[in-house]
Structure 1
Amino acid sequence: MSDKLDIIIFGVTGYTGLRTIPYLTNVINQYNLSLSWGVAGRSEVKIKKMLKEFGQSKGVNYDNVPIIIADINDENSLKNMTSQARIVLNATGPYYLYGEQVVKACLASGTHHVDLSGESLYTEKMQLLYHEEAKSKGIYIISACGLDSIPVDMGIVFLKNNFQGTLNSVETYTYLETESSTKEPLLNVGTYNSVIYALANFFQTESQRKKLFHTELPTTEPKICTKLIHKSDLINKWCTLQPDPDAAVARRSQHFFYDLYNERPIQVNCYLGLNSFWYLLKAMFLGFWIIIFSQFNRTRNLLFKYPSSFSNGLFTHEGPSEERQEGTVVNVKLRGKGWWGMSQNTVALIDSAPNKEIIAKVSGRNPGYGLSCATFAISAITILTESDKMPSTGGVYPPGVAFAQTTMIEKLHLNGVKFELISKN
């Protein structure tokens, strides 16, 4: 290739990478953008075969899509790939194992990078090691650009933009609605493996997290109440605390908002909602054993070997059917509390109790391979087209900070990820 491509999808033979293509092309056509794109992976034969089969299923011819050969274990091939693009959409997880190599290649060639990682050890390590270098080179490295954690992080931005006052705290509630009664799996095993690695490195993540920021956040009150188990009146479901990755990403964003813009940091708690107390207990029981087994090599290998058994059939090597994907909707309801009429730059303690509440909802069909692919593609396009609205000239950021002042929410809303204001009192 003589000319540099605007966009390369790396890991296109994976479940998510391949399914990102239609979302990418739809947005390019929708906004009449002159952006070129190609794909990358280890095997040209496999890529061509999968592109042909996928194109036939969609009624599209992908025979002329540029293909770059790149192997995650070959540093030179990675640099060759990144040098041929303005931005790389990295879909090669688990990122704990394979993410840093691509980030380093992007930094070496001056290429932007987005990925789907919800693995806090990886995302926070990239910020710790490479934020200043990325800033100096004008390169954006943005992780968590899928289901983890665009709905929550950009949902908080949407809430703040509509609040018209000082937002003190936000509670988010994530839950699924399924139109099909089938017991088919919900996600491919690649996502499951990333979860296992994240749990295995929990204590290392906590130690690393203390080094991320040099400034201390100011004290804000009243303190948000943390509830381990409760029945939520907002979604009428039983809920449990969901600290990673959404809460961790959101709190990183709030720290950046304070450091960059002197904005009052918003307290955030994230919850997962289930249909009954029995389902909640079952999920907590399975979760407990997954956490324990993930800490030791021998038992961790059992988790990798039998994903369906340990996840109650939610994750399999085969992945979900098209019907199962399209019949599942993810919802995130957000409830914010604060004060009417005050600026978000009011960092000082406020004596009175919050007098205003706002509720919003973010939702999307096919959470793993519809919503995530849309947010993935739009994240990359936003960097290429609206970098003047992003912080500084580059850096390693969570999505809420990176895209807060762009038109990303509007683009998402037009492409199947709905942002709705439910009420404001």
Structure 2
Amino acid sequence: MAKVETSTSRPYHIIIFGASGFTGQFVVEEVARTSSEGPKGTLKWAVAGRSRPKLEKVLEQAAAALSKPELRTEVDIIVADVGEPDSLAAMCKQGVIVLNCVGPYRFWGEPVVKACVENGAHHIDICGEPQFLESMQLNYNSQADEKGVYVVGSCGFDSIPADMGVIFTRDQFKGKLTAVESFLTASSGPEGGSIHDGTWQSAIYGFADSGKLRSLRRKFGYKPLPVVGSKIKRRSALFYSDEVQQYAVPFMGADPSVVKRSQRFLLEEHQEDPVQYGAYAGVGGVGNIIKMLFAGMMFMFFVKFNWGRNLLIKFPEFFSFGFFTKQGPTRKQMEGASFQFAFYGEGYTEDPSQGRPNAKIRTLVQGPEAGYVATPITMVQSAMTILNEPNALPKKGGVYTPGAAFAKTTLINRLNKHGIQFSVI
């Protein structure tokens, strides 16, 4: 691996903010693993958060999990609090990149973005909340550009596999790719699986606020993206998918909005025709559908009211049939879990104005457990890409999606080496 370059004389290449949170602790372990990839002492990093004792405990846990006792003494601790802007500014002045693991981002994200932009640190998050991601672009893009700072959102499971998967599919297609559908399936091992309720909370507030997202989008004043070739057909709310041999539903996360923003950037900056995108998730058999419909109806009813949201937040396990828990998955559960994104693309070997698409491609992005194994990998490799490949990033600083920031970099190769495999079928 190339020696990491720092653009400044800052003491740390990477600062993990929110390192003692549920996801943060796994990001700490991933940075510790990655820091040994270069010559000794290439990557200088620190952990940050509100509580020094909690951060010390996380370093102890990482030291034990990775058999690296030196982590306890060699990794510095920075005390910083979202509610104290001065502490955030002091933290951001010390790092080239801040990995922000403090969510839900709609409540705690903006002060960190603001501090990064004002103090010249790049910012990476793992947010899956379109409202936050797009409002950061609206509010901070020009300021980040002036400062030469990259603010790259959704660098976790939302939405690197989807966004970079579409770009990979386009790059592998011989001809002009015009449309892609993705199908996500996740499997758990013998121990079962669950997701930490931080993600559940983000979904609750996201649905409650969906009206605000629509008005936010109007502020950009975007024209609809041009449709090249024949228009992609929208699937119904529940259908049997021959692609993944199970029932599927439209994917509810940030992926469709992130991919669309990337395609808009590639059109505006590189004059590359946009690829239409539809995202779906496999939900399994009839038993799962009944559970999902029941949970979905309860969710949609309760999320409308303040008291209902409070109940949803208080009892995630009950309302999600054990899918979301306050404890999150165990390490054993994580070891047994995996995900797979299947991409089905179509396009033209010749001129797209000639009738129906005449060529197809199928690609796959697959990897380990999505939330706490794959997400730290994608987040840390995004940071490594910014550190090592400054010349392959967009010419200007700004607020970017992963696809916009990393389309011309070797991020996909890096992910392939770290257990997230991109392949053509």
Pick from 315, 326, 330: which aligns with 2:335?
A: 326
- TM-score, length of structure 1 as denominator length: 0.93
Q: How is 1:8-157 mapped onto 2 (pairs within 5 angstroms)?
A: 8-32=15-39, 34-61=42-69, 62-64=71-73, 65-157=75-167
- Contact 2:19/2:101, CA 8 A, preserved across alignment: yes
- Does structure 1 retain, via aligned residues, the 8 Å contact 2:229–2:355? no
Q: Which runs of 5+ in 2 are unaligned?
A: 1-8
The two structures have a TM-score, normalised by structure 2, of 0.93
Specify the SS of the correspondent of 2:200.
helix
Match of 1:412 in 2: 415
Q: Residue 211 of structure 1: SS of its match in structure 2?
A: helix
Question: Which of the numbers 390, 405, 412 marks the counterpart of 1:387?
Answer: 390
Trace 1:104-253 onto structure 2 (pairs within 5 A).
Answer: 104-180=114-190, 182-183=191-192, 185-212=193-220, 214-228=222-236, 229-253=238-262
State the AA in 1 paired with 2:118.
A
Q: For the residues of structure 2 that align with 1:226 and 1:99, how far apart are their CA atoms?
A: 33
Task: Give the ranges of 4+ consecutive aligned residues of structure 1 lying more than 6 Å apart after TM superposition.
Answer: none
Kindly indicate whether residue 424 of structure 2 is the aligned counterpart of residue 396 of structure 1: no
Q: CA deviation digits over 1:200-245, x for unaligned, max 9?
A: 2112112212223545422333111111222112111111111431
Query: In the aligned structure 1, how far is the partner of 2:294 from the partner of 2:267?
Result: 38
User: 1:290, CA displacement in angstroms?
Assistant: 1.6
SS in 1 for 2:340: strand
1:31 Cα deviation from its structure 2 partner: 4.3
Residue in structure 2 matched with residue 345 of structure 1 by the alignment:
none
Residue 5 of structure 2 is matched in structure 1 by: none
Task: Write the letter of the residue equivalent to 2:137.
Answer: Q
Once the two structures are superposed, residues 129-183 of structure 1 have per-residue CA deviations (whole angstroms, 9 ceiling, x without a partner) of 1111111211000111111001100100110110021111000001112221x34
Structure 1 CA distance, aligned partners of 2:285 and 2:391? 46
**Aligned-partner SS, 1:234:** coil
Letter in 2 for 1:305: K
Deviation track 1:331-377 (CA, whole Å, cap 9, x = no partner) reads 110000001156xxxxxx61321011000111111211100010011
5 Å matches for 1:275-424? 275-341=284-350, 350-422=353-425
Q: Which moved more, 1:195-204 or 1:95-104?
A: 195-204
Q: What are the Cα deviations for residues 43-66 of structure 1, in whole angstroms up to 9, with x where unaligned?
A: 111211222133213212221211
- Per mean C-alpha deviation after superposition, the further-off stretch among 406-415 and 269-278 is 269-278
Instruction: Tell me which amino acid in the other structure corresponds to 1:35.
Output: L
Unaligned runs of 5+ in 1: 343-348
Between the aligned partners of 2:229 and 2:290, the Cα distance in structure 1 is 32
Which amino acid is the alignment partner of residue 17 of structure 2? F
Matched with 1:258 is 267
Distance, in Å, in 2 between the alignment partners of 1:392 and 1:201 is 34
Q: Matched residues in 2 for 1:256 and 1:146: separation?
A: 20
Please, which moves more after superposition, 403-412 or 57-66? 57-66
SS in 1 for 2:184: strand
Structure 1 residue matching 2:13: 3-state secondary structure: strand
Looking at structure 1, the residues matched to 253 and 61 of structure 2 have their Cα atoms a distance apart, in angstroms, of 36
Secondary structure in 1 matching 2:220: coil
Cα distance in 2 between the residues matched to 1:133 and 1:307? 39
Write the distance in 2 (CA, Å) between the matches of 1:230 and 1:266: 23
Contact (CA 8 Å) 1:230, 1:240: kept in 2 or not?
yes
What CA distance in whole angstroms lies between the structure 1 residues aligned with 2:132 and 2:20? 22
1:192 to partner: Cα distance = 1.5
**What is the rounded CA distance, in whole Å, between the counterparts of 2:239 and 2:222 in structure 1?**
35
| Amino acid in the other structure paired with 1:166 | K
Q: CA deviation at 1:29?
A: 2.6
Q: Distance in 2 between matches of 1:206 and 1:257?
A: 23
Q: 1:27 Cα shift?
A: 2.9
Computed over aligned residues only, the root mean square deviation of the Cα atoms, in angstroms, reads 1.6
Q: Encode CA deviations 1:83-125: one digit per residue, 9 max, x unaligned.
A: 1101100000000000000000001101100000000110000
Q: How far apart, in 1, do the equivalents of 2:404 and 2:377 lie?
A: 19
Instruction: Give the total of aligned pairs.
Output: 413
Q: 1:339 to 1:31 in 2, by over 3 A?
A: farther
- For the residues of structure 1 that align with 2:272 and 2:44, how far apart are their CA atoms? 38
| In 1: Cα distance, 2:57 partner to 2:35 partner | 24
